[in-house]
Amino acid sequence: MYWYDFQGLMFLIPALLLSLIAQIVLKATYSKYSKVPSATGMTGFAAARRILDAAGLYNVQIEQISGDLTDHFDPKVNVLRLSSGVYQSSTVAAIGVAAHECGHAMQYAEDYGPMKLRGALVKSTNISSSLSFIVVLLGLFFGIVEIAWVGVILFGVVVFFQLVTLPVEFNASRRAVAVLEGYLPAEENKGVRKVLTAAAMTYVAALAGAILQLLRLITLVSGSRRR
């Protein structure tokens, strides 16, 4: 039991630290550039509408939602939702986040492969995430290692989803930076890159954390076979 607890901490602590550091960096960077007004005077909404229209995506609606950094593009209803702090603000951070979400709308319109794959994986990932640990524990409790390995495979789906998410997010950020080069001064574009890079690191940390969790499950199930 002591070995198991120590083993679990070996995987859990690095995962938590990576996630914590990524979130701290994101909040600090976003907070910094949320205080830097854009010389263009554009709000997040205005920037998003301008970018979408320039891409011919007139049918994509923009809605304001509550929350902090809850911005997202919903392909099911073709709606881009911006948090209040982004929708109404004319700061470098707000414009950068809005442009990033526009990048997702452009991906969807162009049938960008990784985005389509991620969308197809959402349901199976939700199911796998809910069942994986339960299946592993049931397999270990009843001493049926084969069932425990099914749980490991289920969690592997979660890891694969996180892996597919990376190119989707990085590509959306690259699109945002590229399109804003025509709208923002060079110094503001530099701020946008920093905000979007910090946001991207949270996805890298999420993938790393998922991989560590998968390794923990593999080690746990492998150890049970030896015992």
Q: Which residue, chain included where needed, has tokens 């910094």?
A: 32
In this prediction, the residues of the chain whose per-residue pLDDT falls under 70 are 1-9, 11, 225-227
Q: What is the pTM of this model?
A: 0.88
The per-residue pLDDT for 2 is: 37
The C-alpha angle with vertex 143 and arms to 140 and 149, in degrees rounded to 5, equals 55
The per-residue pLDDT for 182 is: 86
Distance between CA 124 and CA 157 in Å, rounded?
8
Q: Which residues on adjacent β-strands are paired with residue 64?
A: 82
Tell me the per-residue pLDDT of 4-59, one tens digit each, with 9 for 90 and over.
455 666 767 887 888 899 999 999 999 999 999 999 999 999 999 999 999 999 99
The per-residue pLDDT for 8 is: 60
The per-residue pLDDT for 176 is: 94
Residues identified as active-site: 101
Q: Are strands 79-83 and 72-74 parallel, antiparallel or unpaired?
A: antiparallel
DSSP state, residue 69:
S
The per-residue pLDDT for 9 is: 63
The per-residue pLDDT for 15 is: 78
The per-residue pLDDT for 16 is: 83
Distance between CA 42 and CA 56 in Å, rounded?
19
The per-residue pLDDT for 13 is: 80
The per-residue pLDDT for 223 is: 77
